[in-house]
Structure 1
Amino acid sequence: MTLLILVSFLYYQKTTHIIHGKISDLAEKNVSQTVGLFDLLLEGYDSVTKSLNSNYELLDLLENRDKQTEPIASNDMERSITNILGAVYFSRDDIIGIHVITNKGKIYNYERRFAGVADLSYSNADWYKKIKAADGAMVWLGLSNGSLINSLQKDEVFVFGRTLFDLTNYKPIGIVLIETDPAPIMDALSNVTISPNSRVYIVDEENRVIATSQKAGEQTPSFAGLTRPVKNETVVDNQNDQLIVSAKASVADWTVVGFTPKADMSAELDQTRLYLLAVMAAVIVLSTVLATLISRNFASPLKLLIREMKQVEMGNFRGSVNVNSFDEINSLVASFNRMVQRMDELIERTALASISEKNAQLQALQSQVNPHFLYNTLDMIYWMLDERENDRLGKVILALSHMFRYSSDWEEASKTTLRQELDQMRHYLTIIESRLHGRIEAQIEFDSKWLDVALPKMTLQPIIENAVKSGLEPLGTLGILKVYTYADEVANELQIVIADNGIGMDHSMLLQLRQYLADAEYGTRTAEPGAVKPSGPRQRKGIGLPNVHRRLVLMYGERYGLRINSKQGEGTTVIIVVPLPEKGEDSI
């Protein structure tokens, strides 16, 4: 529910930003298009006045009409002037009236209605003074609620005018005042509105309103503090409670300004907000119902489970939890009950094992006299042989004594070093070489930096014994036993290799031996493909290869242990794989 509310809020914020941005872009485009329409419209009006000012016939008639004294000729000249004005009048559909006033006060009109009616006090009007002062430039007088010169014309008109000059001597001969239908102006203004409450104004450089879409009775805003755009520029002000967009016309010094309340821009967003609120209300109700159901069917069984766990922490393993909930909860409770039951059984087994261990320790203490008796007896035999100068047999007895001491001393646990294992291996080779009379040659090459690597006790001796008895002794000729180390930096392995050139073994026997090693890991590895599992129980004969492999795996992990390769008639290679010690780390 919280996530949905958060996402809804972010969605609403993002939607508001996007919609406001789109509306701003739309308003900017509309204002730019409107200014372009104004420019086209005003250029057309300007060409109308220019066409009158460049009409030599009209200018000549206006200049010479006042000089004509004959009534017939005077009437003909007035008719010609009226016809020229009529031709211009009918060239456009939006012209309402064309008024020409000469410097001598003669007025010529061409209008839709009330033709010939003129306000004779025009010379004192502001519009007349502006046109005269413009010195031939176009004067845009803007919208007027009625004709400026015809008091009977009450319809709203758009007015503009300019001074007429004699093109021969460039002297003013009068003015032309044109009144047009304001509908094109108002239609262009409506293009800027983007909401029912939008207001559009055309203002001049003096902040005087030329035209507006403002309704009657509405207050006109102040334009004094607005940023005025330059030509071909659009200014967007989105900082206040209204979106203000303005652009400047290129033909006239007019600025089109549009005001749109931001409340209108958010009208659709209000509907979105109401929809999101309705969705969130429904989600809250649904969440409450779901929370109640989950509390009854999910939380209550968990509370029972937690309560029983606390009992287990206090040492009570006899309890159990019975619930009827979702399958996952039922499975969890069943697993907990089985775990508690097994823990209870394990505690009982541990107690029995502890009692058995104490009995074994008592028996071991009672039997410690026997090894000491054998050590002393072997030492005595060695000194007797030494007195008789039987060095060869004395070395055998001494080696046997060292081996017996090493293999029976487990007080410091089962961990030793490669150095101690090599010493033990040399004692064993002393006995073997004495027994086989030079039929075995041992080649031992060890890097001294690996002598302190940790190994389980009795690692090398069982492997070498197996190589001698099973590989070299049946050979009948000189057997070579190689013992060396190899560091694989890529695999981070130290390999202790024991290789012989004995009789080797066939492939099925090799697979069977590898299967023994896999079984020695409590089933943690998959057996070799094609291996035949031995049938019947295997008899344990001393500390064999599976035992060595198992102890290496327990010490270093499943990546390490023994690896065996062999070919019948070529020999056998046993590789002891242990991890390389870290730099600066003690090996043991």
Structure 2
Amino acid sequence: MHSIHNRLFLLFLSCMMALLIIGSYLYYRSTTEIIHDKIGDMAEKNISQTAGLFDLLLEGYDSVTKSLNSNYELLRLLELRDKETNPAASANMERSITNILGAAFYSREDIIGIHVVTHKGKLYNYEKRFAGVIDPGFTDTDWFKKLKDSSGEMVWMGLYDGSVINTMQKEAVFVFGRQLYDLDTYKKIGVVFIETDPKPIWAAMSNVTISPNSRVYIANNENRIIATTEKDGVETPSFSGLPRPDSDHVIVDKSTDQLIVAAKAELADWTVFGLTPKADINAQVVEARKYLLIVVLLLVVMSTALATLISRNIASPLKLLIRQMRQVEMGNFTGTVNVNSFEEINSLVSSFNRMVHRMDELIERITLASISEKNAELQALQSQVNPHFLYNTLDMIYWMLDERENDRLGRVILALSHMFRYSSDWQEASRTTLRQELDQMRHYLTIIENRLEGRVRTEIRIDDAWLDVMLPKMTIQPIIENAVKSGLEPLNRPGLLQVYTRTTQRELCIVIEDNGIGMDERTLTELQTALSDGSSAIRGNEGHVSAANGGTAGDRAVMKRRGIGLPNVHRRIVLMFGEQYGLRIESKEGAGTTVTIAMPLPSKGRKIDEHTDR
């Protein structure tokens, strides 16, 4: 759990899953609401259309009864037949009445039978099956009493499993009728009721169904079922608790476990109810849920693969970097990391490679510095014979000369003793200050000035601000020694040795300048090449060909002892401060030589011995 690969994987996967869950939930909720709204709108539209169909159907039925009630010939024959006693005339009248009923019967295809009952109980029929048996007790039924008690309006009696009057007619019928009146006297003549095929009503009712379990009811104002699509065994709802709309409104109720829609037929006191279980409505939601689940599972798999790919792309370069860091911890600075990843990781790897390369360079520089310091120390010690015994003996000679008041020789001996002490003390530090280097230089000049007896004059102009600057030990003295021995001592005139400082924007320069014999072009080029290459080939006498000149061949042959040469001084300055610093030599034959010690200029706020390139 602490690896960047696993954490990135879990982080990315968690974010993707959170977004996926939230998006899926919102999509599912929105889809559910849309489906419910669409189904509700569809149910509302369907029941509104069904109510319109019922109105058209009832209007047609109403026109049939009105046509019979307005048929003057029919009404006249019915009234005369009740008074006629002649059998032949009665038969003719009945035949005419039957023909009028037959004309009305064939005006619509869905009419099964037309029945007219006069107020005196005479029955006239026209139906598909003439061999039927008339129910003798139909006059005592509720529907007939309701029809007989009506005052001329249409009476919609509803659906029946068979004919209400013909016991042989077992097919379902839809029954309606009205009173027949004499249009002149407005006297009741009888009743007419018609039985029709209920298929048009069922077809209109089926338009309300949304699912196979949808139920459609037509109920009147007395909550009596006129027609229904309900199957046997299904509990009939209580219509008293169901909402009833106005004549021109449709009600959609979603508050219960069923979707209830209701609309009112204008030509009858009917209310059409459609009841659909919400479980059926949610079937579409379940299908949408299954589809959404499949999509979510696919997205989860894709998210997992994508999270793995991204976390691996980020973690793999870092793992390579960590592996190389462990190699660096073990001391292997030669390896590099090569990756091609994100820009930030590429930058990190490049910085690491540069850092390792820099560390390798610094270690090599430190190693070379250590070797150079050891060489300088050995070379200094080689120029001495038992230095401790020697400078102790020199101190003893100095005190003996002091007792004899030989001050001049005593100063030389004392300066020589200090020089031995300073040059032999390499265990304390390989660095020193400019102040200590100048003290060492003055001791050496004391010896030189006494030896040459006024042939060399020295001018020292060092700014006190730079006296505490750190530099490698034994830096100035070898340059002064070479300037005197190879440049000023061979002169046949008095020589001048100048030591001073100057600064640039970035460098502090210690300049050792003499007006000695100088160097020719070839010798100067060889010396500059040796310094720039860091060569250690110039040793011994060649090391003394420095500030003053390259010296003659004879001079080099005479000087056999080994000392700290200019390449060694230059190399230690480079190792301490960087390759842009070190010794810079300028010389002209017969005019003198100038050696410049270039070091970094200490900036404000930084200790004087701190250097960025170190």
Q: What TM-score does the superposition give when structure 1 sets the normalisation length?
A: 0.55
Inter-partner Cα distance in structure 2 for 1:245 and 1:306: 71
1:334 is aligned to 2:334: no
- Distance change in 2, residues 1:271/1:325 (3 Å): farther
Aligned match of 1:462: none
1:68 is aligned to 2:68: no
Inter-partner Cα distance in structure 2 for 1:321 and 1:278: 47
* Residue identity in the other structure for 1:337: F
Q: How does 1:186-265 map to 2 (within 5 A)?
A: 186-265=202-281
Kindly indicate whether the alpha-carbon contact (under 8 Å) linking 2:314 and 2:341 is maintained by their aligned counterparts in 1. yes
Q: How does 1:279-358 map to 2 (within 5 A)?
A: 279-299=295-315, 301-302=317-318, 322=337, 324=339, 326=341, 328=343, 331-337=346-352, 340=355
CA shift at 1:324, angstroms? Answer: 4.5
- Distance change in 2, residues 1:116/1:166 (3 Å): farther
Q: 1:152 aligns with which of 162, 168, 191?
A: 168
CA shift at 1:277, angstroms? Answer: 1.5
Q: How does 1:264-279 map to 2 (within 5 A)?
A: 264-279=280-295
- Distance change in 2, residues 1:99/1:278 (3 Å): same
Inter-partner Cα distance in structure 1 for 2:232 and 2:293: 39
1:184 is aligned to 2:207: no
Q: 1:82 aligns with which of 82, 98, 108?
A: 98
- Cα deviations by residue, 1:291-312 (Å, 9 ceiling, x for unpaired): 4454444225447769999xx9
CA shift at 1:115, angstroms? Answer: 4.7
Kindly indicate whether the alpha-carbon contact (under 8 Å) linking 1:82 and 1:109 is maintained by their aligned counterparts in 2. yes
- Distance change in 2, residues 1:286/1:323 (3 Å): farther
Rg larger in structure = 2
Aligned match of 1:125: 141
Inter-partner Cα distance in structure 2 for 1:321 and 1:206: 96
Q: How does 1:549-560 map to 2 (within 5 A)?
A: none
- Distance change in 2, residues 1:363/1:341 (3 Å): farther
Q: What TM-score does the superposition give when structure 2 sets the normalisation length?
A: 0.53
Kindly indicate whether the alpha-carbon contact (under 8 Å) linking 1:305 and 1:333 is maintained by their aligned counterparts in 2. no
Kindly indicate whether the alpha-carbon contact (under 8 Å) linking 2:44 and 2:252 is maintained by their aligned counterparts in 1. yes
- Cα deviations by residue, 1:21-72 (Å, 9 ceiling, x for unpaired): 1111111111111100100110111111111111111111111112111111
Inter-partner Cα distance in structure 2 for 1:280 and 1:320: 46
Matched residues, number: 357
Kindly indicate whether the alpha-carbon contact (under 8 Å) linking 2:47 and 2:274 is maintained by their aligned counterparts in 1. yes
- Distance change in 2, residues 1:323/1:278 (3 Å): farther
CA shift at 1:365, angstroms? Answer: 6.3
CA shift at 1:245, angstroms? Answer: 0.9
- Cα deviations by residue, 1:130-189 (Å, 9 ceiling, x for unpaired): 112221111100000011111111110000011111112111111111100001100101
- Distance change in 2, residues 1:366/1:93 (3 Å): closer
Inter-partner Cα distance in structure 2 for 1:208 and 1:363: 125
- Counterpart secondary structure, 1:217: coil
Kindly indicate whether the alpha-carbon contact (under 8 Å) linking 2:216 and 2:275 is maintained by their aligned counterparts in 1. yes
CA shift at 1:217, angstroms? Answer: 2.2
- Cα deviations by residue, 1:464-518 (Å, 9 ceiling, x for unpaired): xxxxxxxxxxxxxxxxxxxxxxxxxxxxxxxxxxxxxxxxxxxxxxxxxxxxxxx
- Cα deviations by residue, 1:57-113 (Å, 9 ceiling, x for unpaired): 111111111211111111111111111111111111111011111111110011101
Aligned match of 1:55: 71
- Counterpart secondary structure, 2:238: coil
Kindly indicate whether the alpha-carbon contact (under 8 Å) linking 1:28 and 1:245 is maintained by their aligned counterparts in 2. yes
Inter-partner Cα distance in structure 1 for 2:283 and 2:358: 68
Kindly indicate whether the alpha-carbon contact (under 8 Å) linking 2:110 and 2:196 is maintained by their aligned counterparts in 1. yes
Aligned match of 2:108: 92
Unaligned runs of 5+ in 2: 1-15, 364-430, 436-461, 468-614
Aligned match of 2:50: 34
- Distance change in 2, residues 1:364/1:264 (3 Å): farther
Kindly indicate whether the alpha-carbon contact (under 8 Å) linking 2:321 and 2:337 is maintained by their aligned counterparts in 1. no
Q: Between the two proteins, what is the percent identity of the paired residues?
A: 60
CA shift at 1:274, angstroms? Answer: 1.6
* Residue identity in the other structure for 2:270: W
- Counterpart secondary structure, 1:110: strand
- Counterpart secondary structure, 2:285: helix
- Cα deviations by residue, 1:166-225 (Å, 9 ceiling, x for unpaired): 112111111111100001100101111122221111111111111111222222222221
- Aligned-pair RMSD on alpha carbons? 3.6
After the TM superposition, which segments of 4 or more aligned residues of structure 1 sit over 6 Å from their partners? 303-309, 318-321, 341-345, 364-367
Aligned match of 1:7: 23
* Residue identity in the other structure for 2:277: P
